[in-house]
Every structure is written in C-alpha cells, then in structure tokens.
Amino acid sequence: MTTDTNLKTGHKRNEGMAFDPDFFADIRVNRSAVERRTATLGTRRSVKKQWQAAWLLKAVSCIDLTSLSGDDTPGNVMRLCAKARQPVRNDLLQNLGMAGTGLHTGAVCVYHNLIPTAVKVLEGTSIPVAAVSTGFPAGQISMEQKIKQIELSVAAGASEIDIVISRPKVLTGDWAGLYEEVKAYRQACGEAHMKTILATGELATLTQVAKASRVCMMAGADFIKTSTGMEQVNATLPVSLVMVRAIRDYYETTGFRVGFKPAGGIRQAKQALMWLILMEEELGTDWLKPDLFRFGASGLLGDIERQLEHFVTGRYSASYRHPMS
C-alpha cells in the first residue's frame, strides 16, 4: 500500500490500519437522534447576502463535475471540462471581486473510456480527472475484473478513482472480506486517490453505514462517498452525519484525515449550504477544502451560478442561462 503526503494539501495520506473488529463491533446508531440533529441544520443558522455568496463559491470549488450517462460523447466531455475550468461567468466573478482567482471545480468525473478526452482538455490545469470503476454502479463483476478496471483507468491518466464496494459483504456482515476487498482496490490505485462509494441507500441501516465507513477507512480509503447517484435513495443529511462522525472518530484514533463526498440528488444551492454547514460544525474548517470534501453532482453548479447572479443583480434568471456544459 502506497503512502504519501499531498504537496497541495499538506496532510498525510491515509495509510489504513490492520483489520480490527473491535474498532466497529459495538457501534449502534440512534436513528431518531441523528434525524433530530440534522433537522436543525437549516434552522439554527442563516447564511445570507455576501456570506451566502462566499459559501456558494466555496461549494463550486468542491464539486466533482460529473457526466455518467449512456449518451456521453467526447464532445460532451470537452464541454464539461470547459465548464470545470470556468464554472462561473466572468461578469459575475468580476462583480463578486473574484476575477482572476482561478476558481475551478474540484474535479471532472467520467467513465473510463472518456478519460483520455478529459485529460487532454484539462492539460495544464490542476483539475484532476476522476473515473468510476469496479463495475460501477452495481459492482456485480468479478474481483479480477474490478482490479483490472482500476489499473486501466490509472494507466489512462485518472488521478482519482471512485470505486464501489460489494454491498452483500455489508449486508451479510463479512467485514473482513470488505476490508480485504477495499485494501486490494487501494493497492491497485497506487498514487491515484481512492474514493470509496458505500451506496448507503442499499445498506439497510445507519449502523451498517457507520460500520462500513470505518472498515473502508481502515483499508486505506482516501474518501468515503455516500452513493453512486443511481440508487433509489442517495445522499441524505442523516447518512452524511453518520459518515462524517465516523471520519472524525477515525481521525482522533489514527491522526489520518479522510475526505467525504455526498453524491446523488444534490441539485440546489440551498442543499449545498446544508452540507457545508454540516462539515464545518462536525469536522471544522480543515475539511472545507476540495482535498477533503467534494460534491458528486451534475446539476448543482447551474443552480449555484443562478443564485450568484441573483446576489449580483437582485433578479432570478431562467435556469437555461446557466447550463452545466
């Protein structure tokens, strides 16, 4: 398993730890308490005016701008990458005092076959290319095929790999098997950072989500991610709270910072604010950076840009004025 210190972030990459059932065996999550906690996120504090604009610009920098459709073409991905490089219109940035700051999204996320296109278009920037792998979204292929997919995507130029876990291992309590699986994925990723998708909507309980989060971090995950975006239930605040508290516990135990990525169903700027508030309250400002927090989103950026235009002009524009790509 490779380890390094990220020169852009300064924090040491998660090395993982030996499999230890005692680290998660006694976890029990009180769903009612979790839901009460997350229900207050939008009521205890209000982010308005210039502060809201600043938070939304922060959200832009943390978006994994994503296109995972069956009709994706090189042309679509080229436009996606152009939007990643210039996510907010220049006239809005000038009015916000952000012209010339080099604002861009956290990454561009595509299928394997479109990695070369994204890498070529993003050449000369610091925007990483992420690729989904390991039989995304269901993960129902052989382990040999999963490892090969990772290796091919890394060889094609992806610097981040979004892998999916085998959900049956969680549902049957095969925690040692899950650990070995994720550890093998991390080994195959090499220097590429690994985001581990739990597909939380298919894990049955919040207790299972908490345990799976810990096991994946033990195995060396750089990020833990809620969903593929293709389950019936994707990112929710209760699930996110459980996962970020697992991250906090892991950090307090090991000293390694692990990132968090909610994905699926986050399409509105006001939703993005709720997740930013959650991260700030539970993990602190150190996690409000793209190296430790990402949104997996395709439609979110358009609504954020629309809200920023409202802040600048006082008027809401039609959504078609802010296409994703």
The residues annotated with a catalytic role in the active site are 162, 225, 261
Q: Can you tell me whether residue 225 is helix, strand or coil? A: strand
Q: Which DSSP letter does residue 110 get?
A: E
Burial category of 308 from C-beta neighbours within 10 Å (exposed 0-12, middle 13-18, buried 19 and up): buried
Handedness of CA 287, 124, 306, 295 (dihedral sign): negative
Q: Which two tokens stand for residue 65?
A: 């701008």
Strand partners, 295: 63
Query: In Å, how far are 14, 160, 185, 222, 266 from 191, measured between CA atoms?
Result: 12, 9, 12, 11, 29
Q: Judge contact between 20 and 254, C-beta under 8 A.
A: no
Q: How far apart are CA 149 and CA 237, in angstroms?
A: 31
Question: How far apart are the C-alpha atoms of 81 and 93, rounded to whole Å?
Answer: 19
Q: Tokens 């699986």 belong to which residue?
A: 181
HSE-up (13 A, CA, CB side) for residue 26: 2
Cα separation of the two ends of the chain? 37
CA–CA dist 242, 259 (Å, integer): 14
Tokens for 61? Answer: 């920098």
Residues 6+ apart with CB under 8 A from 242: 29, 34, 206, 209, 210, 213
Given phi > 0 = left and psi -120 to 50 = alpha, else beta, which region is 143? alpha
